Structure 1
Amino acid sequence: MSDKLTRLALAGALALTLLAGCGDRRAEGAQGPGASPPPPLPVTTLTVAPKRIQVTLEAVGRAEGSREVEVRARVSGILERQLFREGDAVRAGAPMYRIERAPFEIALQRAKAALAETQARRERAAVEAARLKKLLGERAVSQREYDDAAASLAQLDAALQAARAGVREAELDLSYTSVEAPASGVAGRSLRSEGSLVGTSRDDGLLTTIVRHDPLWVRFSLSESEYARLRAGRGEKSRVAVRETPGQGGSASQLTGKLNFTGSRVDPQLGTVQLRAEFANPDSRLLPGQYLGLAVEIGETDAILVPQSAVQQGDRGSFVWVVGDDDTVAPRPVKTGEWVGRDWVVREGLKAGERVAVDNLIRLRPGAKVAPKPPAPAS
């Protein structure tokens, strides 16, 4: 019995030894020097080359009407009627309000009566002065009597001028009862209701405002260095484009305008120079008070562009994956500038003719072999 158990134990040990040997040979076959390497990773590459681009300065500005006018009452009285609709466009000279006329019509009649009375007194004084002058020549009156008559005539001439000015003033006050638009534009909210007593003071004289939307002005500022670049480029002939409206988070359809004002001094606190651009705005797409993203075009230059997706961020800043002549990749630190459409401007780190990987970037490792392929044609 013991011999039988011994033979079974030896047979089992031999089987385990054979299995272990087979496993070692399989492991050697998988890890040995004859194993096939992994296939190259397919990546899309872009051969960079200089392109002619616009040099722009980015800024944020605030829109305002090219004319913003207060409509005020110039005489005191009861506001009888409002003659416009709030928010509608009005033309210069169009009637907007009517103030009660009766008190000013009465004042005009009184001024005309005073003028007529002064005119009559002046004519009588002129006749008297002429009569005394004739008598003075005949030595029938004294020089003093004639001088008094001449002085009275001169006083009445001055009074006549004052009476005429009074009539003119009364006519103006009567005309001011019709409040007309001082400029063309869009009428704002009416600040006084019909039946209100309005005056000429700062508090109770403001009736509404008119804002001209077309053209629209946008005020913005540039730093001293940016302003120096502007002056060295196209200067005041630079074009200004509206790129976006930050308040709405969207595009502004690339409205293009021109500079119509540049400041003559640097703000000592902010170190900036004030500028203003003018835009055609016939459909009131932009409104005064909006904040707008602006691009000031100051000239053209040659630059290397890469897609934004090709630029990665690492511990040492921005970098791209450059594909060498042997189709291996290596990270390359770059210094980027502004955006041009969907591309970055690369200021430093790349040369014309080099290939940059633009996809599969997360799977790349330094020295990895890749299979470059050209980018797909744009649709």
Structure 2
Amino acid sequence: MRVVRRVAIVSPLLALLALAGCSRSEGPPHGGPQAAPVGVVAAVKRPVREIEEFTGRLEPVESVEIRPRVGGTIEKLSFREGSYVKAGDPLFTLDAKPYAAEVARAEAQVASALAQGEYAKTELARAQKLLDAKAVSRQEFDQLTSGERTTDASLKAARAALQTAQLNLGYTRVLAPISGRVSRAFVTVGNLVDDKTVLTTIVRTDRVFAYFDASERTYLSRRNATADKGALKVRMGLANEAGHPHEGTIDFVDNRLNASSGTIRTRAVFDNSKGQFTPGLFARVLVTGGEPVDAVLVPDRAIGTDQTKRFVFVVGADNVPQFRPVQLGALQDGMRVIDSGLKAGEMVVVEGLQRVRPGMPITPEKLAVDPRGMPLPPQAAPPAAPASKAG
């Protein structure tokens, strides 16, 4: 019984040792790390126009807050909220009865001043005859002359008061000062308003402005081009649009640069006759400059970030990647302009960037590219042949 027990204990130990030996024999041979496979492309050189994209907001060319010129109670709204109105269209009507009464009172004052003026002229003409006959003193004649002038001035004041009353009566009808899209009515019928109350707003919609902050570099490079060729063309895209399908022109550049941000306020104008732009929308503005210049480009996904630095991995003849800091330019159709740090023809890593370690060899695979220099997508695998059925 003792012998059997010893065999039963030793046999599992031998089995474990044998399995460990098998597992060690199946592992990879001792040696250095294997080279990581990566995809590479060559940096290309071609003429490009300098392009920069900025973000901004759309704003109306004209925007008006509608306020009444006189106070009163709102009696009528004459527009549909959110609709398009033309200049001169009625918007609000105020209670006109107090202003009509003021017009009637001013008319009566004008009539009274007319009557007094006619009487004063008659008296002055009679005094002139008496003065010629020396039947009235010079002092009395001068008094009558002064009275005639006073009544004439009173008539002018009465007529001015009548004109003011008529204007105030007309102001009880609030008209649209410009053509555009009207907002909602901020004040409804029955409310008492004065000349400080905002009733609604109107924005002009046939054109829109896109305000953005251009860089100092853009301002300096485009300034001469604008002076030589007139208005600078720009393109713009909305948040839900691919690319920049809308064309406009820069019509305003501010008179000073913001020293804290290194930018200058710039404005572009775009046609909005179709009503596709709404003030307040986010916009991407693309500014293209001057004549084409030769530039080195690589796919944008080849660019790595190390804190504040931008870099690429350049593959040498020994298949050892080199860390290369670069200065970036504009992004054009997925290709990034390299201002400095890279030469045309050098091979850069675009796929498997996370597997690259400086100084450790890699296995580069040159990828097929399109005419721009962008890597082509891998070809789809052909469909598998249908399995034959057993007879």
Please, which moves more after superposition, 219-228 or 208-217? 219-228
Distance 1:213 1:51 in 2: 41
Question: 1:172 corresponds to which residue?
Answer: 167
Distance 1:268 1:306 in 2: 33
What's the RMSD between the two structures over aligned residues?
Answer: 3.4
Q: 1:242 aligns with which of 236, 244, 257?
A: 236
Residue ranges of structure 1 left out of the alignment (5+ in a row): 1-25, 32-37
Q: Secondary structure at the match of 1:206?
A: coil
Shift of 1:212: 1.5
TM-score normalized by structure 1?
0.77
Distance 2:185 2:210 in 1: 26
Q: Secondary structure at the match of 1:141?
A: coil
Q: Secondary structure at the match of 1:237?
A: coil
- Figure out how many residues of one structure are paired with residues of the other and give that number: 338
CA deviation map 1:239-293 (0-9, x unaligned): 3322453xx7x64753222212111123455454222221222344332223333
Q: 2:144 aligns with which of 140, 149, 155?
A: 149
Conservation of the 8 A alpha-carbon contact between 1:44 and 1:374: no
Question: 2:311 corresponds to which residue?
Answer: 318
Q: Secondary structure at the match of 2:184?
A: coil
How has the CA–CA distance of structure 1 residues 87 and 360 changed in structure 2, closer, same or farther, with 3 Å as cutoff?
same
Question: 1:288 corresponds to which residue?
Answer: 279
Conservation of the 8 A alpha-carbon contact between 1:332 and 1:349: no
CA deviation map 1:35-81 (0-9, x unaligned): xxx9997x876444322223133332222111110111111111110
Distance 1:171 1:276 in 2: 43
Amino acid at match of 1:98: T
Q: Secondary structure at the match of 2:99?
A: helix
Question: 2:84 corresponds to which residue?
Answer: 89
Q: Secondary structure at the match of 1:62?
A: strand
TM-score normalized by structure 2?
0.75
Question: 1:50 corresponds to which residue?
Answer: 45
Conservation of the 8 A alpha-carbon contact between 2:216 and 2:262: yes
Conservation of the 8 A alpha-carbon contact between 2:127 and 2:136: yes
Question: 1:277 corresponds to which residue?
Answer: 268
CA deviation map 1:106-150 (0-9, x unaligned): 211211111111111101111111111111111111111111111
Question: 2:134 corresponds to which residue?
Answer: 139
Conservation of the 8 A alpha-carbon contact between 1:321 and 1:356: yes
**Seq. identity, %:** 32
Amino acid at match of 1:337: G
Please, which moves more after superposition, 334-343 or 104-113? 334-343
Residue ranges of structure 2 left out of the alignment (5+ in a row): 1-24, 378-391
Q: Secondary structure at the match of 1:195?
A: coil
Question: 2:3 corresponds to which residue?
Answer: none
Q: Secondary structure at the match of 2:185?
A: coil
How has the CA–CA distance of structure 1 residues 46 and 143 changed in structure 2, closer, same or farther, with 3 Å as cutoff?
same
Asked whether 1:231 is paired with 2:223, we answer yes
Q: Secondary structure at the match of 1:136?
A: helix
Please, which moves more after superposition, 125-134 or 58-67? 58-67
How has the CA–CA distance of structure 1 residues 376 and 278 changed in structure 2, closer, same or farther, with 3 Å as cutoff?
closer
Amino acid at match of 2:312: F
Question: 1:159 corresponds to which residue?
Answer: 154
Please, which moves more after superposition, 108-117 or 302-311? 302-311
Asked whether 1:261 is paired with 2:252, we answer yes
Amino acid at match of 1:102: K
Amino acid at match of 2:174: V
Conservation of the 8 A alpha-carbon contact between 1:44 and 1:375: no
Distance 2:60 2:81 in 1: 17
Distance 1:56 1:179 in 2: 48
Q: Secondary structure at the match of 1:274?
A: strand
Amino acid at match of 1:287: T
Question: 1:23 corresponds to which residue?
Answer: none
Distance 1:55 1:143 in 2: 91
Question: 1:216 corresponds to which residue?
Answer: 208
Conservation of the 8 A alpha-carbon contact between 2:248 and 2:271: yes
Distance 2:281 2:370 in 1: 40
Q: Secondary structure at the match of 1:213?
A: coil
